[in-house]
Homo-oligomer: A and B are copies of this chain.
Amino acid sequence: MNVRVNEAEDPNSLTLRLGSGETLALESGARLDRLQIAYQTYGALNADRSNAILVCHALTGDQHVANDHPVTGKAGWWVSMIGPGKPIDTDRFFVICSNVVGGCMGSTGPASGNPETGEPYGTDFPVVTISDMVRAQKLLVDHLGIGTLLAVIGGSMGGMQVLAWASLFPERVFAAMPIATAAKHSAQNIAFHEVGRQAVMADPDWRRGRYRVEGARPVKGLSVARMAAHITYLSEPALQRKFGRKFQDRDAPTFSFDADFQVESYLRHQGITFVERFDANSYLYLTRAMDYFDLAADNGGSLAAAFARTKTRFCLVSFTSDWLFPTADSRQVVHALNAAGASVSFVEIESDKGHDAFLLEEPNLFATTRGFLDAAANARGVGKAGT
- Give the interface of A toward B (CB within 8 A): 27-30, 123, 126-127, 184-188, 190-192, 194-195, 197-199, 201-204, 220-221, 223-224, 227-228, 231, 234, 236, 239-240, 242-245, 253, 255-257, 259-261, 263-264, 267-268, 271, 284, 288, 291-292, 294, 297, 323
Find chain B residues with CB under 8 A from A267 CB: 191, 194-195
- Contact partner, A187, options B123, B191, B195, B240, Cβ 8 Å: B240
Q: A184-B245, A204-B204, A245-B294 are in contact. Are A224 and B236 (CB under 8 A)?
A: no
Q: Is the CB of B227 within 8 A of A195?
A: yes
- Do the beta carbons of A198 and B261 come within 8 Å of each other? no
Contact A244 B187 (CB under 8 A): yes
Query: Contact between A186 and B257 (Cβ–Cβ < 8 Å)?
Result: no
**Residues of B close to A271: CB separation below 8 A:** 198
Pull 7 A–B residue pairs with CB atoms less than 8 Å apart, ordered by A: A27-B255, A127-B257, A187-B261, A187-B263, A188-B231, A191-B231, A201-B257
A243 nearest CB across to chain B (Å) = 5
A260 partner residues in chain B, CB cutoff 8 A: 291
Beta-carbon contact of B257 and A197 below 8 Å = yes
A167 to B: closest C-beta gap in Å? 18
Smallest CB gap from A187: residue in B: B239
Known: A186-B236, A199-B199, A236-B186. A227 touches B294 (CB 8 A): no
Q: Given A223-B198, A264-B190, are A255 and B28 also a contact pair (CB < 8 Å)?
A: yes
Q: What residues of B have a CB within 8 angstroms of the CB of A187 in the complex?
A: 236, 239-240, 242-245, 261, 263
Known A-B contacts A257-B288, A292-B253; A198 and B227 likewise in contact (beta carbons under 8 Å): yes
A264 and B191 contacting across the interface, CB-CB below 8 Å: yes
Given A126-B255, A197-B257, A198-B223, 5 new contacts (CB under 8 A)? A123-B257, A188-B236, A191-B264, A194-B261, A257-B284
Q: Which of chain B's residues have a CB closer than 8 A to the CB of A221?
A: 202
Q: Which residues of B contact A255 (CB under 8 A)?
A: 27-30, 126-127, 292
Q: Please name the 4 residue pairs, one residue from A and one from B, whose CB atoms are nearest each other, closest first.
A: A28-B255, A202-B220, A187-B239, A127-B255
User: A253 → chain B, closest Cβ, in Å?
Assistant: 6
Q: Is the CB of A291 within 8 A of B199?
A: no
CA distance A255 to B27 in the complex (A): 9
Note all chain B residues with C-beta closer than 8 A to A234: 188
What are the residues of chain B within 8 A of A257 when measuring CB–CB? 123, 127, 197, 201, 284, 288
Partner among B191, B227, B268 whose Cβ is within 8 Å of the Cβ of A263 = B191
Q: Is the CB of B195 within 8 A of A228?
A: yes
Contact of A194 with B227 in the complex, beta carbons under 8 Å: yes
Q: Which of B197, B202, B259, B292 contacts A203 (CB 8 A)?
A: B202
Assembled-state Cα–Cα distance A224/B197 (Å)? 9
Whether B231 contacts A192 by the Cβ 8 Å rule is yes
Q: A298 → chain B, closest Cβ, in Å? A: 11
